[in-house]
Amino acid sequence: MKSIKIFAPATVANLSCGFDVLGCCLDNVGDEMIIALTSESGVKITKIDGADLPIETHKNVAGVAVEALLASYKETVGVTIEIYKKIKAGSGIGSSAASSAGAVWAVNHLLGNPFTGNELVQFAMEGEKLASGNAHADNVAPALLGGFTLVRSYAPLDIIKLHSPKDLFMTVIHPQIEVKTSDSRSVIKHKISLKKAIHQWGNVGGLVAGLFTEDYDLIGRSLEDVIIEPLRSILIPEFQNVKEVAIQKGALGAGISGSGPSIFALSKGIETATKVAKAITEVYNKTGLDFDIHISKINDQGVKIID
Ligand code: HSE
């Protein structure tokens, strides 16, 4: 029986301007999983530690993602999955994506890498569909490919890995309230004005250009969301204060991480990211709410083998 233990990273999707298309991968926040190939065909979840999630394969995001992979694989194999959850569901840092991306990455590795990164994203998206009713790829793509990613197109699926400047650090605050992605998607309007669309796609282009040219001011100017953030931020306690304080302390920009309630701030250098974390902590200490705070460099590799 071949088996590996992996780190399945948390991710920050949307990055303000890029709803459903932009995301980036964190380095020291994530789950662990042990994946094995077996002689018995089919996918079995054998252990879930740290979360109350369904163990039935067809109800589990990792289970359905691996089933999608095996349906495209020419030989019959069996897979067992142990999940050690560290990322809470409904946190906005890609909890479901970590499980589905981690599982398909590990199975592909154990099979000798028959599938491309784009194909793995497609399989992992089945997990996202199960979790939120929508097969978005902006968490699973950076979890699988690492760094910053852009979903250039969903049909056909076209994922672009962007350049990741070494000096960028994420500060993420996770208030301990659960916001389901499906609920957070239900507050969004499905029609927007051309004026807002122009504003937003200017920022997406600016952010991509800023990453490739390592132009930190341009990255900061582009971290702006005129479409989704005004609607969703009301679900997140102290959102405006956290954002203001982060920018005052030198963050390039700040916004909602994925569908919330986590809030991210992107900074140049770990010193600034640490100052931002301290200032945000002070804001949240006054609320009486429980929260976690993370500082992470950008993980340019994505899923990693550990031990
Ligand atoms: N793009 C998705 C959303 C990410 O904002 O709903 C969910 O983490």
pLDDT for 178 equals 86
In angstroms, the first-to-last Cα distance of the chain is 17
Q: Among residues 67, 128, 229, 238, which one is catalytic?
A: 128
pLDDT for 215 equals 98
Active-site residue, 126 included:
no
Active-site residue, 287 included:
no
- Which pTM was predicted? 0.96
Low-confidence ranges of the chain (pLDDT < 70): none
Distance in Å, CA 101 to ligand 1 centroid: 15
Contact call for residues 299 and 140 (beta carbons, < 8 A): no
pLDDT for 301 equals 97
pLDDT for 179 equals 87
Written as one string, the DSSP assignment of 109-176 is: HHTTS-S-HHHHHHHHHHHHHHHHSS---TTHHHHHH-SEEEEEEETTEEEEEPP--TTEEEEEEEES
pLDDT for 64 equals 98
Distance CA 226, CA 279 (A): 25
Domains defined along the chain, listed by start: 2-162 (3.30.230.10), 168-297 (3.30.70.890)
Distance in Å, CA 258 to ligand 1 centroid: 4
In ligand 1, the atom with minimum distance to the C-alpha of 92 is 8
pLDDT for 111 equals 97
